[in-house]
Amino acid sequence: MKYIRLRWIHDSRHLPVWLISELDDHHWEVRKIEIWNDGNKGFADRTTSCGGTGLGAVPVPPFDELAALPQFQFEEISQPAFEAEWDARET
């Protein structure tokens, strides 16, 4: 598994600004958390979704491609860092 955190830079209050995902070995999302500027959160896993969040319909692109996109600040994070975000998703 791999874990990523993306800061999505945009001006829309209708879109999340943080995307935090657990990925399998083929870059498919297994679990995902989205956070909006106002603190609202959505999350999804393979059986549950909340707040309009869903898992991606395609695999996440290679990390070097994500890091090169100007609208995202990309960071690979540790499993414990992801689990802390996952545990806090409903607070």
pTM across the whole model: 0.93
Q: What percent of the chain has pLDDT over 70?
A: 99
- AA identity, residue 74: F
- Taking 60 as the threshold, does the pLDDT of residue 28 lie above it? yes
Cα–Cα distance for residue pair 91/88, rounded to 1 Å:
6
Of 26-30, 34-38, 55-59, 86-90, minimum mean pLDDT range:
86-90
pLDDT interval class at 90 (50, 70, 90):
confident
Sequence ranges of the domains in the chain? 2-87
Confirm if 83 and 21 have CB atoms less than 8 A apart.
no
Q: What are phi and psi of 84, to 5 degrees?
A: -65, -40
